[in-house]
Structure 1
Amino acid sequence: MITSPAPAAPPWVQVALSVFGILGGSTGLAAIATVVVQRGKFKADAADTLTEAALTLVQPLQTRITELEGEALHARSELGILREQVNQLQFVVRVLTRTLDRWRAAIRAPDATLRKVRATVAETDRSLENT
């Protein structure tokens, strides 16, 4: 029998066949397939872990921000009330300063008498009662 020599296969085919043979056929291929499939799961697990860690850090910050916003709102409200009180007190100080100036002028007047000073004070009392 005369046999002709087998046709030569490209080198990459021979390498691929050798790798398949070494890996043990279907068992090796199953292992490779498992690794490839698990690769996506590993990425998803890593993303889940990072997301959970970020939420763990962000939630206390969000809670604190909410608390601080409430405190700021309360402080603004208090500031408005205090400004109103300051305005009222400034008005009272101006009124009392004018009253004191009138009394001082009445006392220091060249023609000042006790009766005139008392009349000035009584006039001031009447004007304050009417306001």
Structure 2
Amino acid sequence: MNPVSNPEAPHWVQVLLSLLGVLGGTTGLAAIATVVSQRGKFKADAADTLTEAALTLVQPLQLRITELESEAVSARAELALLREQVNQLQFVVRVLTRTLDRWRAAVHAPDATLRRIRSVVAESERLAEEQ
């Protein structure tokens, strides 16, 4: 027995199949090389896509934050005005309470007379005009 057998296909067919195998292997290697070399580009494209998606989500939030900050400034200004009004009203209440206390004391005094009560009221009016 001869270890080398005769191929049944013609020689040129074997050469063609070998050539196709080498080209196929080369194409596969070329494809792998292309993928490896463009891996950075794929990562960059993915990063761009993620960045674009994040900006799409962040922009409405930034607009809303700007609106809320504007509303907060307005609310703080209104609060300051209302606090000032409350302080003024508290002052008026204190003045009126003191006036009422003086009038009550004049009315409840043991020696109260109509003339003395009118004098206390007139004095309160004079003090109010000075302020």
| 1:87 corresponds to | 87
Asked whether 1:100 is paired with 2:100, we answer yes
Separation in structure 1 between the aligned mates of residue 23 and residue 31 of structure 2, nearest angstrom: 9
| 1:130 corresponds to | 130
Separation in structure 2 between the aligned mates of residue 61 and residue 76 of structure 1, nearest angstrom: 22
The higher-RCO structure (CA 8 Å, 6+ apart) is: 2
Matching of residues 43-122 of structure 1 within 5 Å: 43-122=43-122
Residues 103 and 120 of structure 1 are in contact (CA less than 8 Å); yes or no, is this contact kept in structure 2? yes
**Local SS of the residue matching 2:38:** helix
Cα RMSD between the aligned structures? Answer: 2.2
Separation in structure 1 between the aligned mates of residue 102 and residue 65 of structure 2, nearest angstrom: 55
The amino acid that maps onto 1:82 is: L
Deviation at residue 24 of structure 1 after TM alignment: 3.4
Compute the TM-score of the two structures, normalised by the length of structure 1. Answer: 0.75
The amino acid that maps onto 2:81 is: I
Deviation at residue 42 of structure 1 after TM alignment: 1.8
What is the total number of aligned residue pairs between the two structures?
A: 113
Deviation at residue 43 of structure 1 after TM alignment: 1.5
- For residues 44-98 of structure 1, the C-alpha deviation after alignment (integer angstroms, 9 at most, x for no partner) is 2111110011111111111111111111111111111111111111111110000
Q: Which moved more, 1:65-74 or 1:22-31?
A: 22-31
| 1:40 corresponds to | 40
Deviation at residue 107 of structure 1 after TM alignment: 0.6
Separation in structure 2 between the aligned mates of residue 86 and residue 42 of structure 1, nearest angstrom: 64
**Local SS of the residue matching 2:90:** helix
Residues 106 and 116 of structure 1 are in contact (CA less than 8 Å); yes or no, is this contact kept in structure 2? yes
Identity of aligned residues (%): 80
Structure 1 unpaired stretches of 5+ = 1-17
Separation in structure 2 between the aligned mates of residue 29 and residue 112 of structure 1, nearest angstrom: 118
Compute the TM-score of the two structures, normalised by the length of structure 2. Answer: 0.75
Deviation at residue 23 of structure 1 after TM alignment: 4.1
Separation in structure 2 between the aligned mates of residue 25 and residue 61 of structure 1, nearest angstrom: 53
